[in-house]
Structure 1
Amino acid sequence: MNFKRIQGIFLIAFIVIDVFLFMMTKNSKVQDDSENAGSVNSAIVRDMKRDNIKVGRLSTTKQTGYYLSAEPQTQFGDRLNTLKNQSARNEDGAIISDFKNPVKVDTRHPERTLNRLMKQQGFVLDADEYRYDPDLSSATKVVYAQQGKEGPFFSPNARITFSVSDQHVVGYNQRKLADVKILHEKNDLITEERAVISLYQYNELPNNTKILWKKLAYTRFLELSGKEVYIPTWVIAINNKTNSQVQIKRINAFNGASVSTEKVQEQQNGKAKVESVGN
């Protein structure tokens, strides 16, 4: 074996070992950073509990999400004629319908009856794209949220709201997002725990506050030329002793920013610019 060949083998071996050691060091650093972050997060959660903020169980599961574009569907054409046993009309881009025979439901679990009816052709349009949302429902309304392939939407433009009166569903209002497209490859999202901590650090979780529910969903970020852009958002519902009304808070799941601190401006050239503003 000649000297140059031996030299080449040793060089390749050296590079392989060097890369291996670099990766070991990098992985160790990532693990240390993760452990440090976990320790800091745990300390902040303890601070919240000392402030009598009830957060419930906080997930540290990591997820991914996309920038999406969509547009509200405003025309339904002859499809309204396929709806049965109801009087339906298109009004301001929504389907407004009154049932000819109101549907009796168990007000504690209205979804049991409605889920069955949603499977029947002619009850509502595109029923398979909506799922029952108990968090948004009440004694007088039952809400079904539109589901995309990438996740649920949290938007008035993507809901069916059934009206309940005297234990009967008497009609509904339906809005739908159409032409949903992915604008960018998927990105990592902050965890549920990190979202709640961000809310606390923005001073949007006062003392004696209780988190009622939290969910990851796509909410509208901006509108450009009739198209709406949606981003993954941690939607968090709270109330406290000083304000008994339920308040909805939103945290950008990409970067942890409070959505209320983001101001979107549309430029003349059609491009959007995001500026940070105070609460």
Structure 2
Amino acid sequence: MQFKRIKILMLILFFLLDIFLLNWWRSGQVPQEQVTDANTNIISEMKKQKIQLPKFGTAVHYSGYVAAQHGDRHEMSLPSNIDITSGNHSTTVVAKFKQDISKKIGTNASETVLAAYSAGYRYNPVLTADKTNSDRVYSQRIEGLPVLADSGIMTFQYNKSGRLTGFTKRQLVNIEKLRDARATITEEDAIIALYRYNEIGSGDRLSKGYLSYDRTLTVNGYDIFLPVWAFEAYSGNEKYVLKINAFTGDNLSE
């Protein structure tokens, strides 16, 4: 009987604690109307400074932390007719085609494009836009989101004639979800965060934002990834990738 009473008491205490935490959380929330008004004012201020913004979204997405390991190049899916020059890099494939490939990526499907898609890679407009040459970047996708870290991308190289000559490939394996998905900030919130962190200023231009996964740390041989909002920014003749933590709104730009 004594044990049963203690059990009931503990349940009551937990229930009361949940009510307290819920009320405490609600008391700290800013009404959505105030958030919307503040965002509208800041966006208007940015436009007055001639900052070119994309057609951004205001929808809330859900995502969570994931862990993954670097795949061995000997286990990767690769097209035929290539020379591998990776050397001692066990997680990286550096390949050149034995003969010129006449088809460009993005036109008719080639064996290389099919190889990228079969392994879960998709074209990444932000990372490709950040290139200073004609390389095109494909990202592996985790839980539907593109990877920004080098460990999960495939980069295709072209010659001056626009012909595909080779590629570099890395792949993530043993992917595990670390916790349930939770709400992220919106694309609009991420843009406002960039402005508040002075990452964009008068006359700058910002690309569309892409909710992505980026590496945050490494633990016991696993890379830990968190969701981020990624943008390509243009300031004068310079361009660079900007990143905002999609959970906290912190600035992760390098």
Report the RMSD for the aligned CA atoms in angstroms.
Answer: 2.4
Question: Are 2:136 and 2:155, in contact at CA under 8 Å, matched by a contact in 1?
Answer: yes
Cα deviations across residues 163-192 of structure 1 (Å, max 9, x unaligned)?
Answer: 101221111110011111100111100000
Distance 1:36-1:146 versus aligned 2 partners, 3 A rule? same
Give 1:53's match in structure 2, choosing from 47, 51, 56. Answer: 51
Distance 1:101-1:116 versus aligned 2 partners, 3 A rule? same
Cα deviations across residues 221-267 of structure 1 (Å, max 9, x unaligned)?
Answer: 111222111000001111223xx121111100001111259xxxxxx
Question: Are 2:68 and 2:223, in contact at CA under 8 Å, matched by a contact in 1?
Answer: yes
Question: Are 1:111 and 1:132, in contact at CA under 8 Å, matched by a contact in 2?
Answer: no
Alpha-carbon distance between aligned partners in 2 of 1:116 and 1:35, rounded to the nearest angstrom = 50
Q: What does residue 225 of structure 1 align with? A: 220
Partner-residue secondary structure (3-state), 1:236: strand
Q: What does residue 127 of structure 1 align with? A: 118
Partner-residue secondary structure (3-state), 1:76: helix
Q: What does residue 97 of structure 1 align with? A: 95
What is the Cα deviation at residue 136 of structure 1? Answer: 3.0
What is the Cα deviation at residue 150 of structure 1? Answer: 3.9
Partner-residue secondary structure (3-state), 1:111: coil
Report the residue type matching 1:87 in the other structure: D
Question: Are 2:142 and 2:213, in contact at CA under 8 Å, matched by a contact in 1?
Answer: no
Alpha-carbon distance between aligned partners in 2 of 1:227 and 1:86, rounded to the nearest angstrom = 30
Q: How does 1:129-168 map to 2 (within 5 A)?
A: 129-137=120-128, 140-165=134-159, 166-168=161-163
Distance 1:102-1:134 versus aligned 2 partners, 3 A rule? farther
Q: TM-score, normalised by structure 1?
A: 0.72
Q: Which moved more, 1:177-186 or 1:85-94?
A: 85-94
Cα deviations across residues 196-222 of structure 1 (Å, max 9, x unaligned)?
Answer: 001111121122111033211000111
What is the Cα deviation at residue 105 of structure 1? Answer: 3.3
Distance 1:143-1:182 versus aligned 2 partners, 3 A rule? same
Alpha-carbon distance between aligned partners in 2 of 1:247 and 1:97, rounded to the nearest angstrom = 27
Alpha-carbon distance between aligned partners in 2 of 1:172 and 1:159, rounded to the nearest angstrom = 10
Q: How does 1:3-42 map to 2 (within 5 A)?
A: 33-42=31-40
What is the Cα deviation at residue 70 of structure 1? Answer: 0.8
Unaligned runs of 5+ in 1: 1-25, 262-279
Partner-residue secondary structure (3-state), 1:112: coil
Report the residue type matching 1:184 in the other structure: R
Partner-residue secondary structure (3-state), 1:84: coil
Distance 1:151-1:212 versus aligned 2 partners, 3 A rule? closer
Alpha-carbon distance between aligned partners in 2 of 1:132 and 1:126, rounded to the nearest angstrom = 9
Q: How does 1:74-223 map to 2 (within 5 A)?
A: 74-77=72-75, 83-91=79-87, 92=89, 93-106=91-104, 110-113=105-108, 115-118=109-112, 124=115, 127-137=118-128, 140-165=134-159, 166-223=161-218
Partner-residue secondary structure (3-state), 2:209: strand
Alpha-carbon distance between aligned partners in 2 of 1:48 and 1:140, rounded to the nearest angstrom = 32
Q: Is 1:259 the counterpart of 2:252 in the alignment?
A: yes
Question: Are 1:76 and 1:90, in contact at CA under 8 Å, matched by a contact in 2?
Answer: no
What is the Cα deviation at residue 151 of structure 1? Answer: 1.6
Question: Are 1:104 and 1:167, in contact at CA under 8 Å, matched by a contact in 2?
Answer: no
Alpha-carbon distance between aligned partners in 2 of 1:240 and 1:90, rounded to the nearest angstrom = 36
- Count of residues in Structure 1 that have an aligned counterpart in Structure 2: 221
Q: What does residue 229 of structure 2 align with? A: 234
Pair member with larger Rg: 1
Q: Which moved more, 1:181-190 or 1:219-228?
A: 219-228
Question: Are 1:60 and 1:192, in contact at CA under 8 Å, matched by a contact in 2?
Answer: yes
Q: Which moved more, 1:252-261 or 1:200-209?
A: 252-261
What is the Cα deviation at residue 61 of structure 1? Answer: 0.9
Report the residue type matching 1:99 in the other structure: F
Question: Are 1:213 and 1:238, in contact at CA under 8 Å, matched by a contact in 2?
Answer: no
